[in-house]
Structure 1
Amino acid sequence: MTETAEVHAFWRQLGLPGLIDVHTHFMPERVLDKVWAYFDSAGPLTGRPWPIAYRHDEQQRVDTLRGFGVRAFTAMLYPHRPDMAAWLNAWAAGFAERTPDCLHTATFFPEPGAGEYVAAALERGARVFKAHVQVGGYDPNDPLLEPVWGLLAESGTPVVVHCGSGPAPGKHTGPGPIGALLGRHPRLRLIVAHLGLPEYADFLDLADRHRSVHLDTTMVFTDFTERTAPFPPAELPRLAALQGRILFGSDFPNIPYGYPHALHALARLGLGEDWLRAVCHHNAAGLFGLTPPG
């Protein structure tokens, strides 16, 4: 069976119209090349190779997701230094215009003017933001980001934030900094990437305390991740209880295994078809106001 047939069989068996993937990466070619070079050399960081499964050109990657039946996806992109975010946002706006099934994505960095270019991105139609605390190496509580968080909380725009300490801890990763942020901005619609890997229980605690907090499943439960950062079986009932706030994410194309494996990894948790339908489609459809197809 081909990968496409496997993915189609998965969502059709659940009676879904397709999938919604909240954690996929599209970015300018020269930036993506550097990201791929980072993963190619990630052995010393992760202790093992990290081959890119879908190292294709942009259109082929878009066509692959569409072929899988992914109804909507994102263009997760992020700066690692100042004076980069506004340029990335301009690229992402153009990508969204020519790729209507991509949820218009934007990003930011703690720097003067961040509030202004985030406001401009919202005005242009941004529907989701990406914050990468680990790669950016910044404190989400940096005063330069206060205008940004205020705008995003007020507008209710979801923010996918990589704040867990995997695959390697950063100076500002972990539940503490994000917990402090939510203490000031409790209405923020944060989507904690990778379920907060490896601090799973701590980020489930945050979701229990803040109803605006969601978590995505990106790379969690797969064989690749279970070898080094296994999800604690004792936490599965909490994952089931949070059914309405768990979202499917894949990390496509930067995954070291085939796309169907991410779906099968969710199914083998044994949390039931209703949970799978919510996670793989319905929750994101509600969060982003996506209408049924047809």
Structure 2
Amino acid sequence: MDDHARAPVDRAGLVEAGPEEAFEVRRFSARLGLPGLVDVHTHFMPERVLRKVWDYFDRLGPLTGGIEWPITYRAEERQRASLLREFGVRAFTAMLYPHKPGMARWLNDWAVGFARRTPGCLHTATLFPEPDVRAYVGEAVEAGARVFKAHVQVGAYDPADELLDGAWGLLAEAQVPVVIHCGSGPAPGKHTGPESIARVLARHPRLRLIVAHMGMPEYEDFLGLAEQYGQVRLDTTMAFTDFAERLAPFPRRALPRLTDLGDRILLGSDFPNIPYPYLHQLRALERLGLGDDWLGAVCHDNGARLFGL
């Protein structure tokens, strides 16, 4: 299957990823000698919430940057999870996030059940700056949450807000990673960018932040934070793809820094909310030309080590 081609869609609008794509994704892993992939940035959330997210993309909401963004894998929950397993993804996340107070605890309650019924899912939780955030973050950790999602752009909050300080401290102590969308792509938010994250890390240098989308478009600033703080990682979500390169090209001069941070770059895809086939993200990483050892570490080994797989 050509990795730029759109996956076929049936008449009901559900994806029908052909066996060719699953075969090619598995062949990618096999060529690198990997037992599969570890994808730290995939979205599962209550269906009515996800449908609203898809509707936002369809309407070209402001946070999409007004860019046409067709959802390639618009399928029901079980089908999407099954497709990841067909791709040979051994572990994936349920990136879910609130856009207002009072929503995070409800999402976390849903996530417990989803992780229990979904093989391969790394139990995911979320948070929002509100008075009870430290309490429910602690409850989620006690319930077995292995990764958190924070979305500075959608939540429109300052990650350095004092309300979050106790939660960041708890997560740093528990060494639970946090995938955080804090870069200003595809559209800037009031608190996106590296400055607030630098303040968070100055207070909590052991916090395991995973900067989503490689920090797009402030790539070099976030690489700098990873170089300064040994627990900071970056995920590849959408970065280096043709879609992202048209919007915010990764600076070629920074490629050697990716090699130097090779043990702290993690595969992320944004599945199912991507406007191209899953395979294209893998090919985009491959064509960087940083070598099979780097590629294997990014696509599997780093995530497997982080989550003890």
* TM-score (norm. length: structure 2): 0.93
Instruction: Give 2:170's aligned residue.
Output: 151
Q: Aligned to 1:256, which of 256, 264, 275?
A: 275
Deviation at residue 99 of structure 1 after TM alignment? 1.1
Instruction: For residues 44-65 of structure 1, give each alpha carbon's deviation from its aligned partner in whole angstroms, at most 9, with x where no partner exists.
Output: 6424310000000000000100
- Percent identical among aligned pairs is 70
Determine which of 150, 159, 164 is the counterpart of 2:183.
Answer: 164
The whole-number CA distance in structure 1 between the counterparts of 2:61 and 2:155 is: 20
Alignment deviations for residues 145-204 of structure 1 (CA, whole Å, 9 cap, x no partner): 111001101000000000000010011100000001000000000000000000000000
- Aligned-pair distance for 1:141? 1.1
Aligned mates of 2:247, 2:204 — CA distance in 1: 33
Residue among 275, 286, 298 paired with 1:267:
286
Indicate if the aligned counterparts of 1:194 and 1:218 stay in contact, CA closer than 8 A: yes
Out of 112, 128, 137, the residue aligned to residue 147 of structure 2 is 128
Query: Aligned equivalents of 1:199 and 1:74: distance in 2?
Result: 24
Offset, 1:43: 6.6
Name the counterpart of 2:160: 141
Q: What is the alpha-carbon distance in structure 2 between the residues aligned to residue 163 and residue 43 of structure 1?
A: 18
For residues 192-239 of structure 1, the C-alpha deviation after alignment (integer angstroms, 9 at most, x for no partner) is 000000000000000010010000000000000000100000000001
For residues 27 and 230 of structure 2, the distance between their equivalents in structure 1, rounded to whole angstroms, comes to 33
Residue identity opposite 1:42 in structure 2:
L
Residues of 1 paired with 2:65 and 2:21: CA distance?
A: 27
In the aligned structure 2, how far is the partner of 1:42 from the partner of 1:122? Answer: 35
Partner of 1:88: 107
Structure 1 stretches of 4+ moved >6 Å = none
Q: Secondary structure at the match of 1:110?
A: coil
What is the CA–CA distance in structure 1 between the aligned matches of 2:67 and 2:131, rounded to whole Å? 38
Residues 43 and 49 in structure 1, CA contact (< 8 A), matched pair in contact too:
no
The one-letter code sitting in structure 2 at the alignment partner of 1:17 is P
CA distance in 2, matches of 1:255, 1:80: 20
Partner residue, 2:50? 32
Instruction: Point out where structure 2 has 5 or more consecutive residues left out of the alignment.
Output: 2-19
Match of 1:5 in 2: 23
Residue 227 of structure 1 aligns to a residue in which SS? helix
For residues 222 and 185 of structure 1, what CA distance do their matches in structure 2 show?
32
Q: Which secondary structure state, in structure 1, belongs to the residue aligned with residue 72 of structure 2?
A: coil
Which structure 2 residues correspond to residues 9-28 of structure 1 after superposition, within 5 A? Answer: 9-28=27-46
- Bigger shift: 81-90 or 91-100? 91-100
1:125 counterpart letter in structure 2: G
How many equivalent residue pairs? Answer: 290
State which of 94, 107, 112 in structure 1 corresponds to 2:126.
107
Query: Residue in 2 aligned with 1:277?
Result: 296
Between the aligned partners of 1:279 and 1:84, the Cα distance in structure 2 is 33
Structure 1, unmatched stretches of 5+, are none
- The question of 1:42 aligning with 2:63 is answered no
Please give the residue correspondences for 1:126-275 in structure 2 after superposition, counting only pairs within 5 Å.
126-275=145-294
Residue number in structure 2 paired with 1:55: 74
Amino acid at match of 1:38: Y
Q: Secondary structure at the match of 2:91?
A: strand
**Conserved? CA contact 1:43–1:50, under 8 Å:** no
Normalised by the length of structure 1, the TM-score is 0.97
Deviations 1:65-90 (A, max 9, x none): 00000000000000000000000000
Task: Show the counterpart of 2:92.
Answer: 73
